[in-house]
Structures are given as structure tokens and as C-alpha cells.
Amino acid sequence: LTQPPPWGINTNIRLTLPVVCFVWQIAMIILFGVFIRYDEESDTHWVETKAHDNITSDIENDFYFRYPSFQDVHVMIFVGFGFLMTFLKRYSFGAVGFNFLIASFGLQWALLMQGWFHSLDPQTGKIFIGVESLINADFCVAGCLIAYGAVLGKVSPVQLLVMTLFGVTLFAVEEYIILNLLHARDAGGSMVIHTFGGYYGLTISWVLYRPNLHQSKRMQGSVYHSDIFAMIGTLFLWMFWPSFNSAITDHGDGQHRAVINTYLCLASTVLTTVAISSLSQKTGKLDMVHIQNSTLAGGVALGTAAEFMISPYGALIVGFFCGIISTMGYIFISPFLEKTLKIQDTCGIHNLHAMPGVIGGIVGAITAAAASESVYGKQGLINTFDFTGDFKDRTVLTQGGYQAAGMCVSIVFGVVGGAIVGSILKLPIWGDPADENCFDDEVYWEVSEPESIPPILEYNNHMIHKQQDL
């Protein structure tokens, strides 16, 4: 009678999940043992480095330039992304918990992958890490968490870990191509993080299309308190986005300017998001989905140009249009994607990351191409676009072209990578939930009683029993 469930509906992950966690973590330890070392600013030999380089004060350690931003980014990754996805009525454990799991794995793997591609020391064969490496690892993880948004509630934690393994790998490669080979600038990752992550997730969701997802319709949508939990995620993302876009920009004016631009851009996005959201309802009521998501689109879209001299009103303009486009995406494009293109995008990452990411890439390309010595100053232009070494003769127009090329690379990596990884995830071995059990924490979590409202229960029971007595 109790037959083993057919492949694909067996959500028992008692074997696969522990095995993957243990094996991968042991692999991380071995690879870290072989490759990863402290860099000169986090090593006890820093005292000698200081003497050698005539550094007079410990405050010159890169740690003090970047640590506050790093912690903000860290909050965005774990609280921001995690809580943003708690909006579903019964998938908050999965939202916060699996986000926690895959980010924790992803950042280790990212340190290795990004290390091999960006900072492998040819002499020692080692990767030397410091606070900037931690930020980059968090950034890399962000790409995978964006992708998680598209498949939220429809995959198993094992699938998520696989998705993260490949996602980080693809990320490191496309990042290497875009930043190192094309020498494009993308400090806040409009292209390398958001565009890539968005299309990676959307393509995976497309491959994993579930025609009968309506069977779990009762679990879709939010409840009052889950919407408020999600606002915790929204606000921490929104507030700390200036840190995100400035975390790895140049010391001094570079970080300063990226903060100002992002701060302004996001403020502008809020107003147009509210406007379109209100317009979309008969009586002008606001939709929480829009407020939770589209208000963030401006931060995404300024990921590339935040460090440029886009000027304060330029930042406002970008935010203005992103709020409009992203909100309209939720109203018009998401239903279209689901119906026509068969892309089920749980969190609407197309509207929050993919589309604004592409806008960000375009804005970056245009702003770069329009840069001039009169605005930036001679040295300022060189510093901002890093026109040094092999690239010292590059013109801003060429730079604009390479920026545009970078955006295409990120899309291609997202789509092709997503298609391949999606196919792997389609194998019936990963313990993903049946259509009728999607968006339900009960599948992978020990869930306690739904809500303890003894008084109401008691009151009703009391009434019921009173009637029975009658």
C-alpha cells in the first residue's frame, strides 16, 4: 500500500542533502587549505609591510575603507534577500533558511572561483584574501540569490545548492570576461550580478516549467504578516544599497559619489513606483508587491554608473524611469512571461533584477561614452575608468562599446548557463516537490502548529459545543 512515491515526488532529502553538505564542505576545506591565504593587510606580517611601504597608520589598512560597507552588504545578502522572499504565506522558513544555506556555501566557493580567476598569485599559486575578497564573494552569491527568487517554492534545497555551485562558477567566468578582458566597469554589478543572476534564474525557471502549478494556488500569495516580514527585507536592501554600489569602488571620491548617486536614485524610484502602483488599481490602492520590489529597481539600474559622474539629477532620472518600468513589469510583463513564454517567476526577478540590470548596463555604457575630461578632470577620468596599463589609450567611446559588450556577455551567460543548469536540475533525483506541494514549508521543514490562537479556537469550540448541547 505504501509504495515508494514515483521519481520527482519523493521529497525525502535525508540522504542527498547531508551528503551534499558534508562532501562539498570538506572539499572547501581541502581547497582552502591548498589555495587560500591571508593577504598582506590581514596577515601578522602587516607590521613589516607598513614599515616597508612607509605607511604611517593602521587606519590606512583597506579594512577601514571597506568594512562598514562590507557589513551592510552582508546584511543585504542574508537579511535583505532572505526576508524579501518571506512574502509567501507559508514559505518563510524556506525563504530565509535556504537563502542562508546557499549563501553560506556560495561565498566559500566564490572565494575560490573568483580567486582563481582574479587574484591567483602566479609565483606562489596561492589566493590572498582580504576584506575586498569577502565583499566580492558576497556579490557573487547575490547573483545566485537573485536566481533563487525565480524558482522560490518550487525546488528542493539540494537543487538550490547545485544551482549555486554552477551559478558561482558561471559568475566567476563572466565576471572575468567582463571586468578583466573587456575591462568594463561594473562596481555595483548591474551586469555581472543582476543581469546575469536574473536571466540565469529565469531560464532555469523556464526549463523547470510546471504546467500544473495552479494545483498549489492556495499557497501562493501572501498574508498580512508575511507582507510585513518581507518589508524588512525590502528596507534593508533599499537602505544599504548605497553601500552595495560603493563597496568596491575607488577609495575617496569614488565611494563617496557612488553613495550619493544610489541614495538619490532609490528615493526617486519610490515615488514613481507608488504612482504606477496606485494607477493600476481602480480606487488607487497600493499593491504591496510593487512596494516590496520595484522600489529597489533604481539601485539595480545604477550598479554600473554609480561611480561615474552621472550627476545627482542624472541619478534621479534613472530612478524615475526604473520605478515606472519595474512596476509596469509586475502588472503587465510577468503575466505575459508566465502565459506566453512559460516562465514562472515567483518573486518577479525579471522586473526587479533582469530588466533594471539591462537598463543599468545601458546607462553605464552611455554614461561612459559621454564622459569627458572637462567633467572628470584628466586624472579623474583615468582613475574612474582605470585607463592604465594595457588600457591607457582607450577612449571613452571605446569604453562605452566595451560596456555594452559586457552587458551582452552577462545575458548570454545567464541564458545559456541557465539552460544547461536547468536541464541538470530537471533530472528526477533532486527531491523537488510535487505541483500541489509547491510553496509549502511542510515539505522540507518541521513546521509547528500554524498559529497559536487558543482563545479564538476555544471561543469557537465553546460556541460549537454549546450548540451541540442545544
Rounded least distance, CB 173 to a second copy, Å:
22
Show contacts with a second copy in window 157-216 (CB under 8 A). Answer: 157
Show contacts with a second copy in window 213-242 (CB under 8 A). Answer: 218, 221-225, 227-229, 231-232, 235-236, 238-240, 242
Rounded least distance, CB 285 to a second copy, Å:
5
Tell me which DSSP letter residue 344 carries: -
C-beta separation of 233 from 445 below 8 A: no
Regarding 119 and contact with a second copy (CB under 8 A), the answer is no
Regarding 436 and contact with a second copy (CB under 8 A), the answer is no
Tell me which DSSP letter residue 88 carries: B
Nearer to a second copy, 212 or 281 (CB): 281
C-beta separation of 361 from 403 below 8 A: yes
| Residue found under cell 525565480 | 150
Show contacts with a second copy in window 359-378 (CB under 8 A). Answer: 375-377
Where is 38: in which H helix or E strand? strand 36-38
Regarding 122 and contact with a second copy (CB under 8 A), the answer is no
Burial class of residue 306 (count of CB atoms within 10 Å of its CB; 0-12, 13-18, 19+): buried
Is residue 302 helix, strand or coil?
Answer: coil
Rounded least distance, CB 147 to a second copy, Å:
19
Residue choice 7, 47, 180, 212 for contact with a second copy (CB under 8 A): 47
Where does this chain touch a second copy (CB under 8 A) — which range of 54-62, 199-207, 341-349, 399-407?
54-62
Interaction pattern, residues 245-284, with a second copy; x per rule: CB under 8 A: ------xxx-xxx-xx--xx-xxx-xxx-xxx-xx-xxxx
For the chain, the farthest-separated pair of C-alpha atoms sits apart, in whole angstroms, at 93
Where is 206: in which H helix or E strand? helix 196-207
Nearer to a second copy, 6 or 33 (CB): 33
Regarding 8 and contact with a second copy (CB under 8 A), the answer is no
Degrees (nearest 5) of the Cα angle 272, 338, 430?
115
Where does this chain touch a second copy (CB under 8 A) — which range of 17-25, 179-187, 392-400, 414-422?
17-25
Regarding 64 and contact with a second copy (CB under 8 A), the answer is yes
Q: Which of 320, 353, 9, 53 is nearest to 201 (CA)?
A: 353
Handedness of CA 249, 172, 426, 343 (dihedral sign): positive
Cα–Cα distance list, 283 to 196, 227, 251, 278, 287 (Å): 37, 21, 49, 8, 12
Total residues in contact with a second copy, by rule CB under 8 A: 155
Interaction pattern, residues 295-314, with a second copy; x per rule: CB under 8 A: x-------------x-xxx-
Q: Residue 431 and residue 235: Cα distance in Å, rounded? A: 33
Nearer to a second copy, 202 or 297 (CB): 297
Interaction pattern, residues 81-110, with a second copy; x per rule: CB under 8 A: -x---x--xx-xx--xx--xx--xx-xx--
C-beta separation of 364 from 191 below 8 A: yes
Regarding 29 and contact with a second copy (CB under 8 A), the answer is yes
Regarding 243 and contact with a second copy (CB under 8 A), the answer is yes
Nearer to a second copy, 10 or 169 (CB): 10
C-beta separation of 295 from 270 below 8 A: yes
